[in-house]
Amino acid sequence: MVNFDDILKHNVKFGSFQIRTYAIIFISPLLVGCTTFLQVFIAGVGDHWCQIPQWDQRDCDRLVGFKNETCEDILKSLSTPSLPLDDDRDPQCLTYNFTGIDLEQAYSDRNNGLLSSYDVTECNEGMVFDRSVYRSTMTEDWELVCEQSLVPNLLQSLYMAGFLLGCLLFGWLADKIGRLKTFAICNLVAGLCGVSCALAPGVIFYGIFRFITASTTYGSALVAFILATEIATPEMRVFAGVAIWYYYSAAYFVLSAAAKLIPNWRLLLALVSVPYLPLFFCVMFLTESPRWLLTKNKIEETKKAIQKMANVNGNDLSEDVISKLIEENDVTESGTPQGTFVDIIRNPVLFLYFINLAYNWFVQSFLYFGLSLGTSSLGMNVYIAFCISGAVEIPAYTISIFSMKLFGRRASTGFLMILAGISCFATIFAPLGPIRVAVAMVGKFAITASFSNIYIHTAEIFPTPLRALCVGSCSVAARIGGLVAPMILVLRELWEPLPLLLFASSSILAGLLVFFLPETKGKPMPATIQDSVNLGKVGRCDPNADDELEKDVVV
């Protein structure tokens, strides 16, 4: 029987068509990474203190002329009160009552220890922000500190909620109307809403546009991943599926440099959002996934798409080969029906695969963010530290590629998750300092690599009509895991090792459950539900199967 993977390997092959497509769609994960991490820089909270309007800058400059303090140091120390140990109020949100007191008198009273006799009051005249780290932030413009200090966190939670919507909505839409149309819609809306965020007059409008931006940016990256794997030849599928995350890691470096060079947060936000608009127009240079076209009974479009792939790659492909593909895949007049969750629930094997994978995605994100949030600060420049965070992921993705190629999807993912769990458990007993950091980083490295693996494995298990929906649904589980992780860290107040024990046990369990999934290395991507079910019925996989897939098939 001829399947699409046969034609890809023997007739279309990997060449200019795939490279050209990836050059366009891989821009999406780069932009998604920048958009997601943008909050680090545009909502950063620097040092701040109450503003005293009657103190003239010239008076401060005159004091600095004969003192060993900077003007900023003087204003900060005078306006920030010293509170008793039993007073849990934030001194950065309070000041002394300086009514009728000029700067020189306040400075003299501080040196004489008289400031403690002043009444302490709340800031009523605005805040002053230290710009040595963050030169311009929405936190400063909208004074999101003190009573408003939770707003930036709420905005980030709202952004993650947008991710949840994007996972489900655009996974379903990509299976319904096609990969390219969904990709175009996501990029257009992401660009427009991203620019709207930059122009937002206040927090409410910003939050609304940021929520929509999150859902569409994630939808764009999700469709890019699906399309990348569906047009890749079997031996290149792992590379294509993992390469997309290199671009995601590159966002750390691009965003850090942009944030350092661009002083205004609104301009930085616009700069990250505008590229989505030309990416929308780039869709006209792309070709719809032939796999999806085939399931929708779009016969002529399928033929044109496959022929175009072969021609661009400089290969010959006869009409008879395509006709045989369509005939042997038994495409009905109405095409393959649109997949829904009912199809998953109705089939016990597929349902168990979905539950297993959803749990694995949950644990992957749960552990990844738990280890990231539980790691102490590097104690260095925020821009350099941000770059280091991205650099750690690059070798992990490289290991992901070679582990899947050498050991298969199931063994490599299972081993990496078990290794991550053991690392978490060992961290409990590791002494504080470099040893504990090294042990914890082994866990983060392993979970990053396995997270990349699970994307590939999931895409190769579910059939074309359900692929985007299931990858998107599993990603919802991952987003929930990311939201739960910070709550688990709070449990250290009850018992210090408890969070690490939960991370370790859940990761080891997930790693063991992976071995109940079918191995997909070297097997054609399933086109129907029955193809997915049959994955578990095939015997042991040949270790060289990715490169030798269906070598004996005459096409």
CA distances from 539 to 204, 528, 535 (A): 56, 20, 9
Q: Choose the most confident range, by mean pLDDT, from 9-13, 77-81, 392-396.
A: 392-396
pLDDT digits (tens, 9 = 90+) for 323-369: 777 766 654 444 445 567 788 888 899 999 999 999 999 999 888 77
**Residue 420 and residue 400 in contact, taking contact as beta carbons nearer than 8 Å:** no
Token representation of residue 505:
């046990």
Q: What is the CATH number of domain 340-555?
A: 1.20.1250.20
Are 10 and 553 contacting, i.e. CB atoms less than 8 angstroms apart? yes
Give yes or no for a contact between 46 and 131, defined as CB atoms under 8 angstroms apart: yes
Q: Going by DSSP bridges, is the β-strand pair 127-129/48-50 parallel, antiparallel, or unpaired? A: antiparallel
From residue 336, give the alpha-carbon distance in Å to each of 62, 295, 331.
80, 5, 7
**Half-sphere exposure (CA, 13 Å, Cβ side) for 60?**
16
| Interaxial angle between packed helices 203-230 and 151-177, expressed in degrees from 0 to 180 and rounded to the nearest 10 | 40
**Phi, psi for residue 229 in degrees, rounded to 5:** -75, -30
The DSSP bridge partners found for residue 120 are 96
**Interatomic CA distance for residues 141 and 42, integer angstroms:** 10
Instruction: Report the C-alpha gap between 102 and 160 in whole angstroms.
Output: 48
Say what the pLDDT of residue 278 is.
94
Please write the tens of the pLDDT for every residue from 102-146. 777 777 777 777 777 787 888 877 777 777 777 788 888 888 888
Query: Are 455 and 225 contacting, i.e. CB atoms less than 8 angstroms apart?
Result: yes
The rounded distance, in Å, linking the Cα atoms of 245 and 248 is 5
Mean pLDDT for the stretch of residues 482-503: 78
Question: Lowest mean pLDDT: which of 35-44, 63-72, 259-268?
Answer: 63-72
In angstroms, rounded to a whole number, what is the distance separating the alpha carbons of residues 339 and 300? Answer: 22
- Within the chain, all domains assigned CATH 1.20.1250.20 are found at 1-43+136-335, 340-555
Does 552 score more than 50 pLDDT? no
The type of residue at 162 is G
pLDDT class for 62, splitting at 50, 70, 90?
Answer: low
pLDDT digits (tens, 9 = 90+) for 174-233: 988 999 999 999 999 999 999 999 999 999 999 999 999 999 998 999 899 889 988 888
> Pick from 448, 432, 344: which is nearest to 394 by CA?
448
| Cβ within 8 Å of residue 166, ≥6 positions away | 186, 214, 215, 216, 217, 218, 219, 222, 472
Q: Specify the CATH number of the domain 1-43+136-335.
A: 1.20.1250.20
Instruction: Please tell me what DSSP assigns to residue 94.
Output: E
